[in-house]
Structure 1
């Protein structure tokens, strides 16, 4: 699995960005956040039309403004196609109003380069990356397929990384950082 200090891979993928006819799809690249001097959080889920995944996606959606406030682009991703993503968004009430793109890695090339494919089905593990504006992976977290992640923890770690200071255990935004 690609980890801390590594350059996030270069990619160009189609994503679902809207339910509006004719504006459903948009190409996203690895340069989008760098060109805007923003951080990127990319979180992966195994399959559309499953059970744990929509709870996570909906939880990230409730925090979209928190990521935007931190100059961070939020991207959700799986190895399903953009058409499956679109159908799922239309079908699932909690996904209709998503405010972030659902990236389709149908070739599995990005997931493979990241090293996050499960061996048997070749689906992505529940992995979350925080990538700085230079494209360097600063945090990665992986969950078993059956366990959802904690969006507040992703935000807490993003806050800590953006201080560019030493942050003690359980540190939260607004608390003192450590002095050397």
Structure 2
């Protein structure tokens, strides 16, 4: 694995030290080595490159990641989910009965994998948080809403920059541990 480190100031993370290690996400030993290279008690795992070729859910946050996190003593893990995968009281009637069932049918394989990733995290002894954004955009940062354990009514979009901001904020927010955090405008 190759690594780098940066400090995020007030724009995201509140001075949080963040390390990056690049390697094969499905290889528990490589993940463990990369996590040990990084200072601190947190590991964030994601994908880079073409989003159409990206891995999803359990392929990214599955047993290899949970195993690497345990082996290195890291306790905190924040993972991105998808708001479209779950219907709950935060959804309006049309969203719950038409839009989300349609999206779930189209993205079934991805959503099944995200559900497995959630199962793996919930079954672990880690301090996990799921960040659950709606449709992603390439817009810049702006104020967004957060709600624990159910969707945000009329929350239809969020920028990728604000997903990253929400992840970094959740890392240092104890109230988010063992919760799904819905984020949207």
Structure number with greater CO (CA < 8 Å, separation at least 6) is: 1
TM-score range, shorter chain: under 0.3
Structure with the higher fraction of residues in helix conformation: 2
TM-score by length of 2: 0.26
